[in-house]
């Protein structure tokens, strides 16, 4: 099965970039946008000088629980940079959301409690609320994570969005926000 089909079957449509978008990023932004693929996994990530952003991490059902996800995360941790990712909040009707959060908590990720992230899916026109998780080897601040997330949104998520989808994603300052008083910890819920 093609790597995009694996991702498309696992991730909700609201979270998926189009195949054309991802292929264009791999081709035109190949210096920072990377694909690590094996028979049982697909890892799509962005690596800038100052941080790594995990766009998609898929481990096949038949290989879950065998340490493959841990090995992939360890490979990224060896880069000794903060690692950032988007994750959907717990949905008690979908047990994968809780398993995913538990996995990242075991891997030492923290929830960026002060960062809000909400964007309209161009595929469904539905507003999709996401949470930001991060791993910080030098205890980087949430302000730093926020700035890095804004860079990812601008340079990766919005890359040629209007050309690819016929309309643009929201501007970065509408999709991402930072509020010191936001007191929600999704990792504390699991």
Cβ pair 45, 34 in contact under 8 A:
yes
What is the DSSP code string of 45-106? Answer: EEE-SS-EEEEEEEE-GGGTTTTHHHHHHHHHHTT-S-EEEEEPPP-TT-HHHHHHHHHHHH
Single out the residue of 160, 162, 172 nearest to residue 25, CA to CA: 160
Separation CA 160–CA 72 (nearest Å): 29
Kindly state the tokens that stand for 71. 């090995």
Q: Which structural domain, as residue segments, surrounds residue 64?
A: 3-189
- On the CB side of 165, how many CA atoms lie within 13 Å of its CA? 22
**Judging by beta carbons within 10 Å of its beta carbon (0-12, 13-18, 19+), is residue 163 exposed, middle or buried?**
exposed
How many domains does the chain divide into? 1
Confidence (pTM)? 0.92
Render each residue's pLDDT in the chain as its tens digit; 190 residues.
Answer: 799 999 999 888 888 999 999 999 999 999 999 999 999 999 999 999 999 999 999 999 888 888 999 999 999 999 999 999 999 876 556 656 678 888 999 999 999 999 999 988 877 888 888 999 999 999 999 999 999 999 999 999 999 999 999 999 999 999 999 988 776 666 655 5
pLDDT reported for residue 151: 98
Single out the residue of 54, 112, 44 nearest to residue 81, CA to CA: 54
> What's the CATH code of the domain at 173?
3.40.630.30
pLDDT reported for residue 189: 54
């Amino acid at each position: 099965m093609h790597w995009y089909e694996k991702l498309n079957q696992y991730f909700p449509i609201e979270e998926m970039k189009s195949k054309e978008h991802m292929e264009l990023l791999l081709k035109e932004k190949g210096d920072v946008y990377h694909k690590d693929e094996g028979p049982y996994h697909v890892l799509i990530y962005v690596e800038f000088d100052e941080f790594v952003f995990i766009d998609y991490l898929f481990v096949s059902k038949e290989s879950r629980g065998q340490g493959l996800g841990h090995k992939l995360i360890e490979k990224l941790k060896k880069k000794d940079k903060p690692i950032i990712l988007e994750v959907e909040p717990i949905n008690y009707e979908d047990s994968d959301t809780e398993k995913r959060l538990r996995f990242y908590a075991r891997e030492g990720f923290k929830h960026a409690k002060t960062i809000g992230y909400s964007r309209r899916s161009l595929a469904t026109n539905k507003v999709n609320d996401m949470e930001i998780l991060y791993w910080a080897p030098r205890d980087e601040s949430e302000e730093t994570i926020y700035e890095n997330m804004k860079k990812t949104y601008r340079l990766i998520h919005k890359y040629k969005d209007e050309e690819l989808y016929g309309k643009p994603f929201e501007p970065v300052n509408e999709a991402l926000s930072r509020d010191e008083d936001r007191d929600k910890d999704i990792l504390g819920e699991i």
